[in-house]
């Protein structure tokens, strides 16, 4: 059993993978590093090219109306962007601190059932620009877009700027 997290004490980093990322192991580590992750209803993660996809259960994020609670959905989109950058860095063979610098959300339709979150760079050249900034300055930012779908309905679109620290 692991010791509960304590304020001000960083959680140990997950060792870099020696091949493709094991997303199950990453999700387990994520739940230890950020305790609230275990209550977000993440059923699974997948990567396709420059896209990170999560499948989520609605029940842990219900509001008083029986639909998705905006605060929980916002936390999920912010976390997913952080995970995208962290996983991207790990695929480059590096482990760095990542923080969200800016985030915004647009709620389009109510979330009424289990859903999926899709996260990708806001611009196709985003990863290449981030690589160049990291090489040039040792730090950089990337803009990501998260889209939440309930079935085929787009319910939420979020945008975030994530910083990789030196």
102 class by beta-carbon count within 10 Å (0-12 exposed, 13-18 middle, 19+ buried): exposed
Using pLDDT thresholds of 50, 70 and 90, give the confidence band for residue 1: low
For the chain, what is the mean pLDDT? 96
Locus of tokens 């700027």: 161
Q: What are the structure tokens assigned to 28, written together?
A: 């387990």
Question: What residues contact 61, with CB distance under 8 A and at least 6 apart?
Answer: 40, 41, 68, 69, 72, 73, 76, 111
Q: How many Å apart are CA 10 and CA 33, to the nearest integer?
A: 8
Per-domain residue ranges of the chain:
42-164
Question: What residues contact 146, with CB distance under 8 A and at least 6 apart?
Answer: 77, 80, 81, 117, 118, 119, 156, 157, 158, 159, 160
Using pLDDT thresholds of 50, 70 and 90, give the confidence band for residue 71: very high
Has residue 137 got a pLDDT over 70? yes
Has residue 2 got a pLDDT over 60? no
Question: What residues contact 10, with CB distance under 8 A and at least 6 apart?
Answer: none
Domain boundaries 42-164, CATH class: alpha beta
Q: What are phi and psi of 135, to 5 degrees?
A: -65, -40
- pLDDT tens by residue, 145-158: 999 999 999 999 99
- pLDDT tens by residue, 40-65: 999 999 999 999 999 999 999 999 99
Locus of tokens 């050249």: 125
């Amino acid at each position: 059993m692991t010791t509960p997290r304590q304020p001000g004490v960083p959680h140990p980093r997950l060792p870099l993978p020696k091949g493709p990322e094991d997303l199950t192991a990453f999700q387990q580590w994520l739940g230890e590093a950020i305790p609230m992750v275990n209550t977000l209803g993440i059923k699974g993660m997948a990567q396709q090219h420059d896209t990170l996809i999560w499948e989520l259960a609605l029940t842990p994020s219900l509001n008083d109306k029986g639909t998705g609670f905006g605060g929980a959905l916002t936390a999920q989109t912010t976390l997913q962007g952080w995970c995208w950058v962290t996983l991207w860095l790990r695929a480059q063979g590096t482990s760095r601190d990542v923080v969200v610098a800016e985030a915004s959300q647009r709620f389009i339709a109510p979330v009424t059932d289990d859903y999926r979150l899709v996260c990708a760079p806001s611009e196709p050249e985003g990863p290449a620009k981030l690589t160049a900034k990291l090489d040039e300055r040792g730090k950089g930012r990337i803009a990501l877009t998260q889209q939440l779908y309930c079935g085929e309905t787009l319910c939420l679109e979020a945008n975030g700027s994530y910083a990789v620290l030196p």
